[in-house]
Amino acid sequence: MKFYEERIDSKRVFEGKMISVRVDRVRLPNGKESIREVVDHPGAVVIVPVLGDKLLFVEQYRYPIERTLLELPAGKLDSGESPEICARRELEEETGYRAKKFSYLGKIFTTPGFTTEVIHIFVAEDLEKTVQNTDPDEFIEVKMVPIEEVLAMLKNLEIEDSKTVCALTRFFFSKGVIR
């Protein structure tokens, strides 16, 4: 069977600052029609910043889940911006560090059942201190966590942010720390 859905019609129902939402009518592989609700997202990056034997994290309140989370620095791509340029910008804005070395660890689709969001994963090394420059509506605390503690937190299911779990997993596999 050919697993492809053909868009027949599309209607934009919301246009926001970060996302837009559309409702598409599609033809299914069996010829029948269905509706797909899609959240369009410009894409994002997540960065694993390495500072010696520690990783840099950000702690911030996340309104939709009404909790504070420990996360790796991350951010949304600006229009026309490359993922690496975005990663460099977000790292410095959120943490106050600049990296001399960036490595790409691939991408992830966050929730492909309803959103186009793709997150590109980077490792930032050879960090130098600059100045944190968050957005006016961002309140972030930078945390330096020893790598051994990060591994324990992953094992004990203490890190719950999905992009952070995915990025750390890719990072630790790339370094041969986990197999």
* 2-47 pLDDT per residue, tens: 889 999 999 999 999 999 999 999 999 999 999 999 999 999 999 9
* 98-107 pLDDT per residue, tens: 999 999 999 9
Domain ranges of the chain: 6-40, 44-174
pLDDT of residue 47: 98
- Quickly name the fold that domain 44-174 has: Nucleoside Triphosphate Pyrophosphohydrolase (3.90.79)
Q: Give the residue carrying structure tokens 């420059």.
A: 133
Tokens representing 95 are 């943490």
pLDDT of residue 1: 63
* 109-145 pLDDT per residue, tens: 999 999 999 999 999 999 999 999 888 888 999 999 9
Q: Write the CB contacts of 51 (distance below 8 Å, at least 6 apart in sequence).
A: 97, 127, 144
Task: Say what the pTM is.
Answer: 0.94
